Amino acid sequence: MEEGFVKYSDSAKQERYDRAYLRMAKQWATLSHCQRKQVGSLIVKEGMIISDGYNGTPTGFENDCEDDNGNTKWYVLHAEANAITKVARSTNDARNATLYLTLSPCKECSKLIHQIGIKRLVFIERYKDDAGLNFLRQAGVEVVQIQNP
C-alpha cells in the first residue's frame, strides 16, 4: 500500500456517507415553515437520492404549521411522510432504501416507513417517544443514530 494512502473499510465509508446525507437532511429541514421544529428527510437507494421531504402543511394550505397557541396543527405532514408520498408518486421504488431523518419517526410514520419497504433508518435526534423506533426494530429495519453529523 502506498504511503499516505488510507483504505477505508466498508463501515467507515458507509459512516462517511451517512454523515453527509444527514447534513443534507439538516439543510433540507431549513425549508420548513414550522416554528416549533424543522425536520428534514432523504430517501437514498443505491447511492442515489430518490426522494426528499420536510415537515409542513399539505399542498394548497397556508404555510403556518402552528395555531395561535403555538400548537402544531393536526394536518401538518412529517418530513418522512412527505418523502414517502413523493416517492410513491414517482417511478422510484423505496424497497431496501435508507431513510435519513433529522428527528426519529413517530409511531404513525414508522408504519409508513415499514410498509414502503425501507430497510435502514439513520437519524440525528430522538423523538420524545421511542415507540416508532421500537416498531421499526421489531420489523427488521436497521436503526442507526448519529448525533453529530
Active site residues: 80
* HEC secondary structure over the chain: CCCCCCCCCHHHHHHHHHHHHHHHHHHHHCCCCCCCCCCEEEEEECCEEEEEEECECCCCCCCCCECCCCCECCCCECHHHHHHHHHHCCCCCCCCCEEEEEECCCHHHHHHHHHHCCCEEEEEECCCCCHHHHHHHHCCCEEEECCCC
